[in-house]
Homo-oligomer: A and B are copies of this chain.
Amino acid sequence: MRGAEALVGSLVEAGVDVCFMNPGTSEMHFVQALDSVPEMRGVLTLFEGVATGAADAHARITGRAAAVLLHLGPGLGNGLANLHNARRARTPVLLVVGAHATDHVRHDAPLQSDITALAQTVSGWVHTSGDVRDVADDAMRALAATTEHGGQVATLVLPADVSWSEGGALAPALPATPPVPPVPSRVTAAAAAVREPGAVILLGGPALGVAAMDAAGRIAAATGARLLVETFPRRWDTGAGRPRVDKLAYFAEEAIAQLEKASSLVLAGARSPVSFFGYPGVPGDLVPEGCPVVGLADPASDVTATLEALAAEVAPDAVAEPAPRHAPEPPPGPLDVRSMCAAVAATLPDDAIVVDESLTAAGVLAPALQTAAPHTQLALTGGAIGQGPPTAVGAAIAAPDRPVVAVQADGSALYTLQALWTQAREQLDVTTVIINNSAYAILRVELARTGAGEAAHSGRAGRMLTLADPTPDFVALATGYGVPARRVETTEDLLEALRWARSEPGPHLVEAIVPALG
């Protein structure tokens, strides 16, 4: 069989049965293999950043790597931003990048570039397949590599001739790298820390599933330790019935205030907290001076088992206090960020997946969701914006029975809005609420923090931060990509639009016109 068929067939045997793709000429034999290996589902995207973001989300939901197929260096370039987010989330992603045929490389044809150098910036493992006889084995090594270090991107560069040549053979899957089991000495140290008043446990990485959150909740109930979730969780099971946990704030000053009274900081799957950006005169390290940091479990660990071991030690009989279900009807009238978030919370279906790229609205959205229907949140782990619409694609394909609700900042949406087309083609159950404030509102805040003051809203500098003149029309854009859409300006209309979106299958978009915060 051809190399491409051996590759695709081996992936399917190993449990990888979805490939998000944006192929070109050098990948035509991979595409052709979709006809002979029908178990592989090809999902076409109009832009590579959609494919990579979708694969990240798919793996966050399923716990297994999805495949991505991209076209040469420029295709990989277009996919890098969401691979950066995947890298920061430690998501297993199997990236296949088509390349020129091996003996074509010496011609330095127009599309030739250094694929390996690009891939290395986001991947823990990079290899160029050199022979059709090896390609399936190479793919299995890549797949195994996605499970190392708690999860990572592994990139297989696939020359066109390796793909088109006969002589390939199926290869068996290799064992996955298991997470690091609980370390007793660390559990003992953490137990001592949380028994002291004022301890804070920072939860992150893989520590945010139902079982881990329950263990954390029991520890908090028994010891009084305060729980915080990292600012941008990769996957967080939260909402009513699960422990109520605040997020660490985005802006350094607020995060410092949250942590300032901590007697110790216990890290469970989270890295030691640092400021998202550096600012003049603001510390980058958010741990208060003198506060001991106790590494209970790093992100490559079996954090759930470690938290359960800690709970067994310090909270054998405790019960986690669940957040109540309390999502009040939002106040009627013209929308603002508060009523918009309240409406999303009040109407959230049970067991939904919430894609949060709400940026300036996140500080309002998170508390509103704490007491909404139980759900799973996916956040912007690496800060590379344009993650939301592709994440909704991947989540909906990973969990077709779960509704996906994406709360999406306007400026960020415009990086990867092509994802709407894939939502329409695959008829995904996604409701996107666009927060249209006609601005890069987060940057207005940041420009104001430089001391620019009013310049953030006017002048030549301010013009670089406004999305007005012209204000993008998201209803028209969604329509252009085949997604039914409505624009709303009041709470009543938003609630009605959310009911409409839920009343029929397939994707919908609701453009909520809200004034920018601040």
Contacts and interface: CB of A to CB of B under 8 A. Distances in A.
Contacts of A128: none
Interface stretch (A30-38, A148-156, A261-269): A30-38
B121 A113 contact: yes
Interface in A440-484: 442-443, 446-447, 449-450, 452, 455, 459-461, 463-465, 467, 469-482
Interface stretch (A184-192, A241-249, A273-281): A273-281
Contacts of A480: 472-480
Contact of A46 (B84, B411, B425): B411
A443 B78 CA distance: 19
A14 interface: no
A450 B28 contact: yes
A103 interface: yes
Contact of A464 (B42, B75, B385, B479): B42
Interface stretch (A17-25, A194-202, A399-407): A17-25
A232 B110 contact: yes
Contacts of A138: none
Interface residues of A, number: 99
A472 to B, nearest CB: 6
Contact of A161 (B278, B385, B415, B475): B278
B275 A104 contact: yes
B74 A77 contact: no
A100 B46 contact: no
B415 A111 contact: no
Contact of A447 (B32, B113, B284, B469): B32
A382 interface: yes
B463 A42 contact: yes
Nearest to A99: B278
A183 B476 CA distance: 57
A79 to B, nearest CB: 8
A279 B29 CA distance: 12
Contact of A111 (B111, B161, B382): B382
Given A47-B414, A77-B81, A80-B74, A382 B473 contact: no
Contacts of A442: 25
A467 B422 CA distance: 10
Contacts of A460: 34-35, 38, 42
The 4 nearest A-B residue pairs measured at CB: A104-B278, A77-B80, A470-B482, A101-B278
